[in-house]
Structure 1
Amino acid sequence: MPKPSLKDAILDAGLKVMFRTGYHGTSVRDVTAAAGAPQGSFTNHFRSKEAFASEVLDRYFEITKGLVAEALEDGSLTPRARLKRYLDIITGRLEADGYGRGCLIGDLSLEAAGSSEMLRARLAEIFAEWRMPFAACIREAQESGEIDSEFAPEELADFLLASWQGAILRMKVDRTPQALERFKTIAFKTVFKEPT
């Protein structure tokens, strides 16, 4: 009888460890110890640390896409309110972590994109996919007259995600929600304000 696969346990542990210690600070030993798995299990499932980090990133992005859908597919809200709702959902999750843990996509963009072409390329794909539902929601808001149409929805979606990542970075430094709340207030009184 074959032994059960430990891949999911290793990926789950890797997500927690990588959030705590970063890509470069995470060792195979740390991950397998957290998963309660022998080190050989890691090499049975992942050809390299980069390949492992890419799968951890994919797992994290699936969670993120679920949060995006929760907010942006809520038909009971206007498109502009859905955008705000997403930021509020993320703010709540960041608060639950004491404002000390941010977004793994942003963290790996800062830490690993310069040293791993594989991870840089995967992050670029993630950002391209991530912006699509935001662009669709922004387009809907523009068509309904909720948001000004001076900029293309894709450009506004990129702006929203990039600026939000910056606010999260600052939040981690300050360990307070001020950067997040400042971003939301300014963004929705300027770029995403209702046309007059």
Structure 2
Amino acid sequence: MPKPSLKDTILDAGLKTMFRTGYNGTSVRDIAAAAGAPQGSFTNHFRSKEAFAREVLDRYFAHVKGCVAQALNDKSLTPRQRLRRYLDIITGRLEGDNWSRGCLIGDLSLETSTSSEALRARLDEIFQEWRAPFAACIAEAQAGREIDDAFKPNDLAEFLLTSWQGAILRMKVERSPASLERFKSIVFSTVLKEVEQ
């Protein structure tokens, strides 16, 4: 009888380890040890640490897409409220980690975009895919005259996600939600402010 695959265990352990020590600070040995797996199990499932990181990214992004869907698909809220709901959901998750752990997508963007073309390209694809539901929600808000249409939905969605990533990085340094709350206050008072009817 074949041995059960340890691939999912290794991916889960590697995701947690990379969150804690980063891509460059995490070795294959660290990942295997965290998974309680022999190092050979890692090399049986992944041709390189870079290939492993790509699968970790995909797994993490699937989780992020679930948070996006939870907020942006809630039709009981207006589009503008849905955008705010997403940021509030993420704030709650970051609070659960005592403001010390941010977004793996943002972390790996900083760490690997100049050293790994494969990861840089995958991160670019992730950001483009991530932006799409926000752009659609913003377009819906603009069509309903809920927010101003001075900017294109794609540009606003890009601004929202990029600036939010910066606020998360600052949060990690401060170990405080101040940058997140500041961002939400400013963005919903300016580019996403409610149009006066």
TM-score tier by shorter-chain length is: over 0.9
TM-score by length of 2: 0.99
Q: Which residue in the other structure is 2:100 paired with?
A: 100
Q: Which residue in the other structure is 1:90 paired with?
A: 90
Q: Which residue in the other structure is 2:52 paired with?
A: 52
Please state how far the C-alpha of 1:195 moved relative to its aligned partner: 1.6
Q: Which amino acid aligns with 1:15?
A: L
Q: Distance in 1 between matches of 2:115 and 2:173?
A: 23
Give 3-state SS (helix, strand or coil) of 1:23's partner: coil
Give 3-state SS (helix, strand or coil) of 2:52's partner: helix
Q: Distance in 1 between matches of 2:10 and 2:22?
A: 16
Q: Which amino acid aligns with 1:102?
A: G
Q: Which residue in the other structure is 2:73 paired with?
A: 73
Q: Output aligned runs, 1:82-161, within 5 Å.
A: 82-161=82-161
Q: Which amino acid aligns with 1:37?
A: A
Deviation track 1:164-190 (CA, whole Å, cap 9, x = no partner) reads: 000000000000000000000000000
Residues 1:10 and 2:22 aligned together = no
Q: Which residue in the other structure is 2:168 paired with?
A: 168
Q: Which amino acid aligns with 2:10?
A: I
Q: Distance in 1 between matches of 2:180 and 2:68?
A: 17
Q: Distance in 2 between matches of 1:98 and 1:30?
A: 24
Q: Which residue in the other structure is 2:194 paired with?
A: 194
Q: Distance in 1 between matches of 2:26 and 2:91?
A: 26
Q: Distance in 2 between matches of 1:77 and 1:14?
A: 37
Q: Distance in 2 between matches of 1:147 and 1:109?
A: 30
Unaligned runs of 5+ in 1: none
Q: Which amino acid aligns with 2:45?
A: H
Give 3-state SS (helix, strand or coil) of 1:32's partner: helix
TM-score by length of 1: 0.99
Q: Distance in 2 between matches of 1:194 and 1:48?
A: 48
Please state how far the C-alpha of 1:156 moved relative to its aligned partner: 0.4
Equivalent residue pairs, number: 196
Deviation track 1:90-143 (CA, whole Å, cap 9, x = no partner) reads: 000000000000000000000111110000000000000000000000000000
